[in-house]
Structures are given as structure tokens and as C-alpha cells.
Amino acid sequence: MTRTIVASATREIVIGFDQPFCVIGERINPTGRKKLAAEMQVGNFDTVIKDALEQAAAGATMLDVNAGVTAVDPNATEPGLLVQTLEIVQNLVDLPLSIDSSVTAAIEAGLKVAKGRPLVNSVTGEEEKLEAILPLVKKYDVPVVAISNDETGISMDPDVRFAVAKKIVERAMDHGIKAHDVVVDPLVMPIGALGDAGRQVFALLRRLREELKVNTTCGLSNISFGLPHRHGINAGFIPMVIGAGMTSAIMNPVRPQEMEAVRAANVLNGTDRDCMTWIKTYKDFKPGEHAAPPPVAVNAPGDAGAANGGRRRGGREARRAVQG
């Protein structure tokens, strides 16, 4: 059974087909969030702290951390800002982290300070990226997200995206990285622009599970981009994509409707043993309300407050070509 292990300083999480769905909180990312980007550029981490605590309290399994606030010389500015952001977050919450950057120097800087076993987000099938990122993944013995695009861009043909994923898995193995440490992102397309985007990703997930035997992830909200009431589409997509074999997603855990869909899918998929998480979360549920999740332990915020005084900048992002 394929198992990808991620960890914080004291908590280990297993991503796998027989495990509860892994919710990777997406909020600590200034891409498309002008206010957050402006704050981070001047060393204000109030929103970062708020987002970290809220996502943990809402039931996130792990948190994605991105510090790409500027496209101006990100190689010089992003590493320091990403390190600062990672240190703040891991001093606040005891959740595994995903180090999210397209800047190789920033990823390595983040790996040096991250506690436990973080997830690297990400590597693509581009030769330059493969040769830059895979040695770091091997050196630090961490798992990595593999995005199914290469020098030719993002293909609309799911067979091409599968071939790119296979190439990345094989190249990782050439570097001594086991397939279970490669988490493939098959790239979810917007259903409003591509009518068979849902069927495409369901078929891709089955192939990735059965043929490559890898865990998978995606930017969940891509599916609903451009449509009204996006959270309804997202909530409907979640159990279907889990049923097709997806084992994690980068998503917003603060949306109760979407988290309810995750928890229900875990119950129906048999990964919420004896329905205990569902019962604990919703035992006091009343019609018309969204029950609050069980409280989670957080670390003392003192270190984060001290770290809030610094100033760094960064830049990003090559990945979100299909995201809004």
C-alpha cells in the first residue's frame, strides 16, 4: 500500500489510499491576495498568523506555505521571506507543512529550517526543474508534489499529462527517491471551460493509482473557476474525486461545506474508523448550522510575534496556470 509520510516536529501524518483524505490548507499564499502580499512585503504577518490558526482550527491536516509576493528578483528576496513565514507558522501550529515555491533557492532555504518532514511543492516535468529540485528532495529525504506539465505547457490531453507524471516518477526513482514520496498533481481543469474536465481527472486518478501507484493532490478550486456558487461545485467534486482515488488536495479548510464533504467522504470510504471523527465533530449539529470542528492544540504564539518584526520579500508563481 502506497504511503507518503509527512511530519511536523511532533506529529506524523500518512497520506494514502487507506487513510483519511489529507486537507492541505491553501490560505497562506499571497498569489491573488493583494492585501496579504502587501502586508508580507513590509514584514506584517498578522494575516499569516490568523490564517494559520483558522485553518488548523477548521481541521486542516497540513498547511501549504507560500511567500511569493513579488516577481522582482525572487531568487534574492523570496528565500528569506519564506524562511521567516515557515518559522512563524510552525511556531504557531503543530501541523506538517508544504513548502510552496517555484524558486529553488527558497525551497532549499525552507528545507533547512522546516521541522519534521515537510512536503516540497513542487517539481514539474521540465528538465531544468527536475535537475534542480529532485537532488534537494533526495538530500533532505522529503516527499515532493509532481505537477503534470513540462516545457510544452499544460496539455489538454489527459494521456499527455499522465505521460509527464510517469516521467517525473521515473526520474525521481533515478535519483533514489521512492515512488511513494512522489505526490502527483494531474492538474484539474476548470469545468466551466472544459466540459469533460471532471471525467478527465477521474480517469487520470485511476490510472495514477493503478499504474503508477502514487498518491495524488490538486488545487481543488480549479474545478469551479469562473462559475457562480463555486463552493457548491467544490463540495460536490470532493467525494467524487476521493472515490476516484485522490488522497489529498490543496484547498480552503475554512469553508464548512467543503470540509463536511471531506468528512462525509472519509466516513463512506471507510477511512473514518467507526465514524468517530464525524461523531465528534457533528454530535451537536442542528439543522441549518455548520458544526464547529473539534478544537486543536496550537503552539504558544510568542515566537511568532517576535518574528513578526522582520522584513522580507519574495516572488511567485509559475504553478497556478489553471487556477484563478
Give 165's Cβ-side CA count (13 Å radius). 29
Which stretches of the chain score pLDDT less than 70?
71, 289-324
Check residue 315 and give its pLDDT. Answer: 31
Helix or strand holding residue 138 (H, E): helix 127-140
Contacts of 66 (CB under 8 A, 6+ apart): 28, 29, 30, 31, 82, 100, 101, 316, 317
* DSSP codes of every residue in 215-261: EE--BGGGGGTTSSSHHHHHHHHHHHHHHHT--EEEE-TT-HHHHHH
Taking alpha carbons only, the member of 166, 64, 94 closest to residue 125 is 166
pLDDT at residue 311 in the model: 29
* C-alpha to C-alpha distance for 139 and 143, rounded to whole angstroms: 11
pLDDT at 141: 98
pTM of the model: 0.90
The predicted structure's pLDDT at residue 1 = 81
pLDDT score for 317? 38
Q: Specify the DSSP class assigned to residue 93.
A: B
